[in-house]
Amino acid sequence: MSVIVTAILALLGLAAVFGALLGFASIRFKVDGNPIVDEIDSLLPQTQCGQCGHPGCRPYAESIADGGDINKCPPGGEATIQALAELLDVEATPLDSEHGEEIPKQVAIIREDECIGCTKCIQACPIDAILGSAKHMHTVIASECTGCDLCVEPCPVDCIDMVPVDQGLAAWHWNSPKDQNIIATDKMGLVAEGANLS
């Protein structure tokens, strides 16, 4: 009998110790917020364009963390969907065209002679990438612009253009050889030419 009592007491003691330890750890090492949201957020392109139907990238990340669709981000495109699918271990679905098409990177350009200085685009810009003040010409800081095109709609004189970014030679890189030169007979028609000669 005393053996059982000792055993129970010992187990109780252990339970109390580890319970206290766990309780302490849960307070001491408490993680604020959902860490997965941060991870998802870091994969999103941060255009803050709202094309996904959420007011910014973080709300979209939160909705994904709650089990929402991962295919609602046109600026990120297939690459983002792939990355999200890998992170969340879900199946990658094609981009939902309801939210827009994947287009090359764009940047907003204000046609400055036409700008009337209404500041509407400045208020619309989610990342403060437009400079200017009331009744003075505005301009876009091209290096900061994410190409979300939220400034285009509020402009009363339609003087904002979205133009594809010219990334120049610095951003050039080799194409994947997967897409090219797969069949020997396709080589610039030379093999075929040789065949004609013979």
* Residue 146 · residue 47 · CB < 8 Å: yes
3-state secondary structure 51-96: CCCCCCHHHHHHHHHCCCCCCCCCCCHHHHHHHHHHHHCCCCCCCC
* Residue 166 · residue 143 · CB < 8 Å: no
Cβ partners under 8 Å of residue 36, min gap 6: 65, 88
Position among 4, 31, 171, 195 found at the interface with another protein (CB under 8 A): 171
Position among 2, 178, 195, 197 found at the interface with another protein (CB under 8 A): 178
Only segment of 16-24, 130-138, 152-160, 172-180 that touches another protein (CB under 8 A): 172-180
Cα(61)–Cα(84) distance, rounded to whole angstroms?
10
DSSP code of 144?
A: T
Residue 29 makes contact with another protein by CB under 8 A: no
Residue 121 makes contact with another protein by CB under 8 A: no
For the bound state, the minimum distance from the C-beta of residue 68 to another protein, rounded and expressed in Å, comes to 20
For the bound state, the minimum distance from the C-beta of residue 19 to another protein, rounded and expressed in Å, comes to 39
Residue 187 makes contact with another protein by CB under 8 A: yes
Longest CA–CA separation in the chain, Å = 105
* Residue 108 · residue 102 · CB < 8 Å: no
Position among 3, 182, 195, 197 found at the interface with another protein (CB under 8 A): 182
Only segment of 4-12, 65-73, 153-161, 173-181 that touches another protein (CB under 8 A): 173-181
Only segment of 12-20, 111-119, 156-164, 175-183 that touches another protein (CB under 8 A): 175-183
Only segment of 6-14, 19-27, 108-116, 123-131 that touches another protein (CB under 8 A): 123-131
> How many of the other CB atoms lie within 10 Å of CB of 174?
5
What token pair was written down for 71? 């295919």
Position among 46, 88, 99, 154 found at the interface with another protein (CB under 8 A): 46
Task: List residues binding another protein (CB under 8 A).
Answer: 41-42, 44-48, 56-57, 79, 82, 126-129, 144, 146, 169, 171-178, 181-184, 187-188, 190, 194
